[in-house]
């Protein structure tokens, strides 16, 4: 045992013997545990590179466990990375528009007509309507903000909604 402590992994012959002894076992371990998908051969090589870079801190007796731990952690990191990539790809797909260019154009034109009609509505009606439908405020809150009764707010919102319905085809609001 004392002889083993004096062997330095940084010596080329010692490192070469470690490589020859554990490389196939390390590859097999990674391959059987994670499959070919995550490049077990590359991860095994990277683990040996890491061992070489840390050779002064690792004793010969700990070399095998160090290699297997490092390689296993590399595989787990790769799996985590692939999950992030997959989630990002799904997010990117969900953000992509499935509408046709014609639909996008019609939507833009409709929005322009909506804004034009909205600008024609009297200010008191438009303010009440926007506070209710855009801001999501309750009628009582709007009444308090504007210093009018709840019935006045309801009338203003209804009047604005009625104008929008008359001026725009298929205008519906929730």
Summarised one tens digit per residue, pLDDT across range 85-95 is 888 777 766 65
Residue 145 is predicted with a pLDDT of 85
Q: Using CB atoms within 10 A of its CB, is residue 120 exposed (0-12), middle (13-18) or buried (19+)?
A: exposed
Distance of CA 104 to the CA centre of its chain: 26
Give helix 40-53 / helix 63-95 axis angle, nearest 10°. Answer: 130
| pLDDT band at 151; cut points 50, 70, 90 | very high
Q: What band does 1 get if pLDDT is binned at 50, 70 and 90? A: very low
* Domains observed in the chain: 2-95 (1.10.1740), 101-167 (1.10.10.10)
Q: Is the pLDDT of residue 131 over 90?
A: no
Quick check: pTM over 0.85? no
Calculate the average pLDDT of the chain: 84
């Amino acid at each position: 045992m004392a002889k083993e402590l004096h062997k330095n992994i940084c010596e080329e012959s010692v490192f070469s013997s470690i490589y020859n002894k554990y490389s196939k076992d390390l590859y097999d371990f990674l391959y059987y545990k994670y499959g070919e998908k995550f490049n077990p051969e590359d991860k095994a090589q990277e683990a040996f590179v890491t061992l070489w870079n840390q050779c002064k801190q690792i004793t010969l007796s700990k070399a095998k466990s160090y290699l297997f731990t490092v390689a296993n952690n590399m595989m787990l990191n790769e799996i985590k990375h692939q999950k992030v990539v997959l989630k990002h790809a799904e997010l990117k797909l969900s953000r992509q528009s499935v509408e046709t260019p014609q639909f996008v154009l019609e939507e833009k034109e409709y929005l322009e007509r909506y804004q034009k009609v909205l600008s024609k509505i009297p200010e008191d009606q438009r303010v009440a309507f926007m506070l209710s439908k855009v801001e999501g405020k309750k009628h009582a809150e709007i009444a308090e903000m504007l210093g009018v009764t709840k019935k006045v707010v309801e009338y203003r919102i209804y009047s604005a909604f009625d104008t929008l319905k008359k001026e725009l085809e298929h205008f519906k609001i929730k």
